[in-house]
């Protein structure tokens, strides 16, 4: 990802140039530099949360309606599952049936 030297906006690639969509500034692409950039393409979330012992893990609980058994209490935790510039996702685990669901911030 490149940012415009003039206005700071995110730039897009057009053939062999980086082009700013806001102010039109252009600069040449550097393939060696781009190869070293970290991208989100192909990343896999490898962190697995074991919910079978949610109470033993000391997870906090709150009022939340389980969509499976209608229980009104659930353990919850937050986890970053999307790119870093997106908000975290809140996961719930039913205290009764251990059904797991998530609530995304929109």
Clarify whether residues 48 and 84 are in a common domain.
yes
| CATH code of 106's domain | 2.20.25.10
Chain-wide mean pLDDT for the chain?
A: 79
Clarify whether residues 21 and 47 are in a common domain.
no
Clarify whether residues 60 and 105 are in a common domain.
yes
> For position 106, what pLDDT does the model report?
38
Clarify whether residues 100 and 61 are in a common domain.
yes
Is residue 102 pLDDT above 90, yes or no? no
Sort 43 into a burial class: Cβ within 10 Å, 0-12 / 13-18 / 19+.
exposed
Number of separate domains in the chain = 2
Q: Stretch 64-76: mean pLDDT, rounded? A: 92
**Tens digits of per-residue pLDDT, 23-69?**
989 988 887 877 776 665 555 555 555 555 555 567 888 999 999 99
SS3 90: strand
Domain span including residue 16: 1-37
Clarify whether residues 22 and 73 are in a common domain.
no
Query: What global pTM score does this model have?
Result: 0.46
Whole-number Å distance between alpha carbons of 43 and 53: 28
């Amino acid at each position: 990802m490149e940012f415009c030297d003039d206005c700071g906006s995110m730039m897009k690639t057009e053939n062999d140039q980086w082009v700013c969509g806001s102010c039109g500034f252009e600069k040449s692409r550097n393939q060696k530099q781009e190869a070293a950039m970290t991208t989100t393409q192909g990343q896999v979330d490898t962190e697995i949360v074991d919910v079978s012992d949610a109470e033993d893990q000391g997870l906090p609980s709150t009022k939340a309606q389980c969509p499976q058994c209608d229980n009104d209490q659930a353990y919850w935790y937050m986890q970053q599952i999307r790119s870093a510039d997106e908000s975290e996702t809140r996961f719930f685990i039913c205290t009764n049936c251990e059904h797991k669901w998530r609530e995304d911030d929109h």
